[in-house]
Amino acid sequence: MTSPVVISPSSAVPLLRLPDFATLSQQIRECGPNEVVAALGRERRTVSDLAALLSPAAETMLPDLARQAALITRQRFGRVIQLYAPLYLSSYCFNRCLYCGFSVDNEIPRRVLSLAEAEREAKILSRRGFEHILLVSGEAPAKLGVDYLEELARRLRDDFAAISIEVQPLKEEEYARLFAAGITAVAIYQETYDRRTYEEVHLGGPKADYDRRLEIPARVARAGMREVGLGALLGLADWRAEGLALGLHLAWLRKLAWRTGLTVSFPRLRPASGGFTPRVMVGEKNLSQLIFALRLFDPDVGLILSTREEQRYRDGMIGLGPTRYSAGSCTIPGGYGDSAADGEQFAIDDHRDLAEVAAAIRAKGHDPVRKDWDAIFQQR
């Protein structure tokens, strides 16, 4: 398969060109048992090896993938699993995304927290024991922009070891401002790497621009952020090809931004306003294979398993690849302080609080960690 082509336009932000999904799918399905065995036997895996590990032929060797994934995870991350909570700031969004509860077409209660309200929500999470929070909002800059995020970060940075954001794409200089204010990481998910599917599920708004979305992680890294999070929303297109595209994106970013930490999240579609039905069924066995394959391909990438997944599955995956779990999550702005708040982005499946998730991690012989970064290292 042809490697991604990097083009340097006048904007100085490189572009990533990925093969089309048909090409990715074909490469995966051409892999047989011999290619899988060869991939399992290598210390350093290539993109071709990742294709083999994602292939149907690898399904019968899933226990072997799991054992190697567990070994690599132990070697690179020890027995540590980081814990975090999302904090939803706003449900306003200008995009028309068929799968999202915040889509502008959905008739849901809309709310943007004031800075004081957001600070109160954060204090609740701090009292519950969280030291890593993810600030989340719909993409509506007129309702919640960089000035708001900068001020909120300055108010919260002394209470949390790490503050991440999952908001609308920003300019490079704006990401730099947020880093100086105390933001340490940015999650920016492509949702699907299949161009055709991307166009079919993103009907309007800035997010409808596939190429613009694809270049944002590089912009985040160039701005100096400590960490960039990637991900594909599983259930929109062929999960195997999504995994190979994610691997290509990871490998490209490793070369472009070698000082930046990288994470991958594996969100499967959950019920949400709008009633979108998954186009592709992705079962737990499929999700596990994807997680194991990416761990073998990139031993240093952080792998995130959120409360979208149910308790039984999350507990079963402890030690097998994921390095970060969410806990006690609420996807409604203001939902931590007001149990009657309405207008969730999607329904979660694991409703346990921080103490319960931490206890489950300890029961499996691992260490739940709430802090892995100190403010002394943060540039301000």
Model pLDDT, residue 371: 67
- Average pLDDT, stretch 91-114? 95
- Domain-embedded: residue 48: no
The per-residue pLDDT for range 117-134, each reduced to its tens digit, is: 999 999 999 999 999 999
Q: By residue range, what is the domain housing residue 87?
A: 62-377
> How many residues in the chain?
380
Give yes or no for a contact between 195 and 183, defined as CB atoms under 8 angstroms apart. Answer: no
Q: Is the per-residue pLDDT at 12 higher than 70?
A: no
Q: How many CB atoms lie within 10 A of CB 293?
A: 28
Q: Is the per-residue pLDDT at 274 higher than 90?
A: no
- Domain-embedded: residue 326: yes
Confidence of residue 271 (pLDDT cuts 50, 70, 90): confident
Question: How far is residue 187 CA from its own chain's centroid?
Answer: 6
Instruction: Kindly report the average pLDDT of the chain as a whole number.
Output: 93
Cα dihedral 230, 167, 236, 243, rounded to 10, equals: 0
CATH of the domain at 181: 3.20.20.70
End-to-end Cα spacing for the chain: 43
State the Cα–Cα distance between residues 101 and 108, nearest whole angstrom.
8
Model pLDDT, residue 375: 53
Residue type at 287 in one-letter notation: L
- Domain-embedded: residue 22: no
Model pLDDT, residue 343: 86
- Domain-embedded: residue 155: yes
Radius of gyration of the chain measured on its C-alpha atoms:
20
The per-residue pLDDT for range 329-366, each reduced to its tens digit, is: 999 999 999 988 888 888 889 999 999 999 999 999 99
Model pLDDT, residue 92: 97
- Average pLDDT, stretch 265-279? 91
State the Cα–Cα distance between residues 236 and 165, nearest whole angstrom.
23
State the Cα–Cα distance between residues 272 and 189, nearest whole angstrom.
18
- Helix (H), strand (E), coil (C) string for the chain: CCCCEEECCCCCCCEEECCCHHHHHHHHHCCCHHHHHHHHCCCCCCHHHHHHHCCHHHHHHHHHHHHHHHHHHHHHHCCEEEEEEEEEEECCCCCEECCCCCCCCCCCCCCECCHHHHHHHHHHHHHCCCCEEEEEECCCCCCCCHHHHHHHHHHHCCCCCEEEEECCCCCHHHHHHHHHHCCCEEECCCECCCHHHHHHHEEECHHHCHHHHHHHHHHHHHCCCCEEEEEECECCCCHHHHHHHHHHHHHHHHHHCCCCEEEEECCECCCCCCCCCCCCCCCHHHHHHHHHHHHHHCCCCEEEECCCCCHHHHHHCCCCCCCEEECCCCCCCCCCCCCCCCCCCCCCCCCCCHHHHHHHHHHCCCEEECCCCCHHHCCC
Q: Is the per-residue pLDDT at 24 higher than 50?
A: yes
Confidence of residue 317 (pLDDT cuts 50, 70, 90): very high
Q: How many domains does the chain have?
A: 1
The per-residue pLDDT for range 58-84, each reduced to its tens digit, is: 999 999 999 999 999 999 999 999 999
Q: Is the per-residue pLDDT at 374 higher than 60?
A: no
- Average pLDDT, stretch 219-226? 95
- Domain-embedded: residue 333: yes
**The two three-digit tokens of residue 49, written as one number:** 């090896």
- Domain-embedded: residue 4: no
